[in-house]
A and B are shown apart, each in its own frame.
Chain A
Amino acid sequence: MNFAEYVISGWVLTAVVIGAYWLWIVQRTKRAERTRDLE
């Protein structure tokens, strides 16, 4: 792997981790709000 590949991997990984975490929070929040509103 040359330098560029390490760099791209790092940036992509960061974007994926943050994006996935954010998505997880958003989806779980929507589900929790729905459950709460149904009661």
Chain B
Amino acid sequence: MSDRLLKPQVSKALGWLSLAALIVLALFGLWGAPPDEVQSDAQRLMYLHVPAAWIAYLAFGVTALGSALWLWPRTRATVWDRVAGASAELGVIFTALTLVLGSLWGRPVWGVWWAWDARLVTTAVLFFLYLGYLALRRIPASPDARAKRCAIAALIAFVDVPIVHFSVNWWRTLHQQGTVFNERLDAKIHGVMAFTLWFGVLAFTLLYAYLLDRRYRLLALDEDREEREVEQAIAERVGAVS
């Protein structure tokens, strides 16, 4: 069945589970976990920023995987193209969220809204790669033609991201800037803080899976309706001629 990814009961359960997990995350993140020695309460944004970044890249990987599976003739199926499309939309939202949360975190702690660090820059480039992919998904073309173009674009982007990261990283380390920045980002955390962070990653992953299924369903409904409309239009033309 290419109209949904999860069974209805599973989807609903996942939805409730995600909500519960997010509430627990909020409790820990805003209250349960202690403030950081250096960053005090600003640290609490990390519990959202890091999970959001994880999802941004996970969604990107899923889009690439879906694209690859669709392109490979033996595994070609509508479901993969739709997974790629649905995941991309989730990805762009979480990427934007990652960037904004990063700014909100960086401003009180380092005094800057932005820094030219490899991870931030790569995430910004990822955002634009997503936007391009989503623009490509809206072109007027047959589902197969559009799927092929989107799939190839997604895979090109997938190959490009590590190159971007590597080159920016190289560039910034050569300039010997961002070391302090990175130290803070990689600061070792333990105990409740570490638990909260990992719990955040889990909660967001559950949320992603749930939203992916729901977005997929909507995409399937919309595309099926489009196909019916095209067939109807063709039938009307044929009927009018004969």
The size of the chain B interface, using a CB distance under 8 A, is 31
B93 within 8 A of A: yes
Q: A21-B93, A21-B211 are in contact. Are A29 and B104 (CB under 8 A)?
A: no
Q: A14-B97, A29-B214 are in contact. Are A36 and B40 (CB under 8 A)?
A: no
Interface size class of A (residues with CB under 8 A): 20 to 34
Contact B225 A36 (CB under 8 A): yes
Contacting chain A: which of B132-140, B151-159, B182-190, B216-224? B216-224
Q: A14-B97, A18-B207, A22-B214 are in contact. Are A6 and B225 (CB under 8 A)?
A: no
Specify the main secondary structure of chain B where it touches its partner.
helix
Contact B221 A17 (CB under 8 A): no
Q: Besides A22-B214, A36-B225, 6 other CB < 8 A contacts?
A: A2-B108, A6-B105, A7-B104, A10-B49, A26-B214, A35-B225
Q: 7 smallest A-B Cβ distances: which pairs?
A: A32-B221, A10-B104, A3-B41, A10-B45, A3-B42, A7-B44, A29-B218
9 A-B residue contacts at CB 8 Å?
A: A6-B42, A6-B104, A7-B45, A11-B29, A11-B44, A22-B211, A29-B221, A32-B218, A33-B221
